[in-house]
Each structure stands twice: as C-alpha cells, then as structure tokens.
Amino acid sequence: MTSEEVKVLIIGSGPAGYTAAIYAARAGLKPVMVTGGQPGGQLTTTNDVENYPGYPEGINGPQMMVDFQNQAERFGTDIRFGQVTSVDFSGYPHKAVVDDKHEIIAEAVVISTGASAKYLGLDSEKEYYNKGVSACAVCDGFFYKDKVVAVVGGGDTAAEEATYLANLCPKVYLLVRRDEMRASKIMQNRVLNSPNIEVLWNTEVEEVLGDGEAVSGMRVINNQTSETSEIAIEGFFVAIGHKPNTDIFKSYLDMDETGYLKTVPGTSKTNVEGVFATGDAADKVYRQAVTAAGTGCMGALDAERFLQAKEMELTE
C-alpha cells in the first residue's frame, strides 16, 4: 500500500468540504480532499437552488458545486476523486485509507461526509426524483406553491415539513403508516390544527404516479383494510429521516444513536484531538447548504488553530 503525509485531509465534498478546503488552502495548509462516492454531495441531485446567498437568479445544484470546486482549486486544494474506506484515529497523526489501496497520514482531519436522505425504495420514486419527488420541503417547497402535495412520515421531520408546506400549498396530505404519529405532541398539535393538512392514518404508498415528466398522483393502500386509492398530487415529499455517512468513524468518534457526529458545542471539534466534523454528518437539525458551508469554515479554522498550537508545542 502506498502512503503519504499531509497537513490537512478533508474527507468528503459538498458545501462543507469545499468551504473547509477554501479556508484551509488560503491559510497555506495545502489541504488534500477525497471527494467521496458522490462528489459535490446531495446538491448534485438538486436541480434548482434558490435559497443560497449570492445567486439572485438561483443556480443549478451541480453547477453550484462546480463553482465551489473551482474556488477551492484556485487556492491550491488537491482534489482527488475516491472514497475513504477506513480510518485509524487511535494514534497521532491520523490515518485514512483511500479505495483500500492508498494511505494518507494527516496532522488534521476535517470530516464532511454528509448524510443521505432515506427513501421508500419504490422504482417510481426514483423515476420522479427532482420531477416532483423530494426529500426536503425547505429546499424545494417553493416550487410547489399553490399545488397539492403529500408528505410521507410520522415523526417530527414529517410534521415540520407538512406544516411548512401548509403555508405554501392549498392542500397537504400527510401519510402515516400507523394509527399514531411518533412526532412530539407540540408538532402533532400543529399538524392536527392546520385546516389544510389531511392526515391519512394507516396508509402506505404503493406507487408514485406521473406522465414520465412530472408527478401527477400517488396510489396508496390502507394497511388495515387493504383498500387502495389514487390521489391527485403534484409534489411528493419523503420525510422518513436521514442517515449520516459516518459508519467508518464508529470505532473512534462519539455519535448519537442515529450516527450523527457529536461536536463540542460552538466548535467543530470531536472527541478525538485534531479531527473536526462539519456539515450534515454532524447536523441533524438544519441540513442546509448554507449552514453546511458555515461549519466547513469552522472546521478549517479549528484545524488551523489546532496545527498552530501543535507547532508552538514543538518549539517550546
């Protein structure tokens, strides 16, 4: 296995990783970024981004990530396409293996591996992704203003998305597969007190319907009566949670029960010295491009200060 030593390793791309790269590169830290399996992250699957500052006309998600990449490369970031397949944070400096064949030994590591939205697993759901199917109402809800939409899920996220959409849409169906919601009482009350949200209890989706170009409806089944019905909608939002892409760090980093990395409040610091967590891998609350970019900046600044402190230790 080949090996090399670097000052800063950034694992993952997307808004957090690229922002960390921009700051680290401008600080002269010569960061190496390993992009991960989906270079650019979740935004590369988003057609239109209208809520990121600086793009008054909006921007195509993949193009936005190309802009981020170009800016990171302009300052000297070494961007490599590949996947970090394992890490060893048991000693210092830290070690990461890329594609099972190349070891990078890094003085500081910024984790920007993001999270992946969970989906129902329907072929029609994949077919209409970005054509009416979404996993983020805050990101995409505006495009469905004055349209009838559906939200799938029974937890706080689903309740929040349904309530958010209810302010934009004349009718929101909330599909809950049980006869009760898992959401907190306050969120349940908001849903049940919204006149334009209709909760369909004991209901699951069999198929997302459309004309090949856009969503036009959904076929649902009542899992108690086995009755099926078709409901006309133009937007279909899946809100059954996200899975942070953090499995390779489980042996070393503190994380919550769902896998989100824990950081020292107000910082990007993890429980391992010299390892910093940014973006959606450590954020289950906001999950926006702009907040991810902000934590990417934090990760780079925290890494820079950590390395400066290390140098001072060596010179004393």
Question: How many other C-beta atoms lie within 10 A of the C-beta of residue 265?
Answer: 6
Angle at 121 between CA 117 and CA 126, to 5 degrees: 80
Helix axes 14-26, 61-74, angle to 10 degrees: 20
Active site members: 136, 139-140
- d(Cα 309, Cα 261) in Å, to the nearest integer? 24
Residue 177 and residue 10: Cα distance in Å, rounded?
40
Tell me the HSE value of 177 on the side-chain side, using a 13 A CA sphere. 10
Amino acid letter for position 57? E
* Cα(155)–Cα(177) distance, integer angstroms: 11
CA 244 – CA 238 distance, rounded (Å): 16
| Ranges of H-type helices in the chain | 14-26, 61-74, 123-127, 137-140, 156-166, 185-192, 289-315
Distance, in Å, from the CA atom of 111 to the CA atom of 133, rounded to the nearest integer, reads 29
- DSSP tag of 247: G
Residue pointed to by tokens 């349904």: 162
- Sequence-distant (6+) residues with CB within 8 A of 315 are none
> What does the alpha-carbon distance between residue 15 and residue 298 come to, in Å, rounded to a whole number?
12
Cβ neighbours of residue 245 closer than 8 Å, sequence gap 6 or more = 12, 36, 113, 114, 115, 116, 281
End-to-end Cα separation, the chain, in angstroms:
36
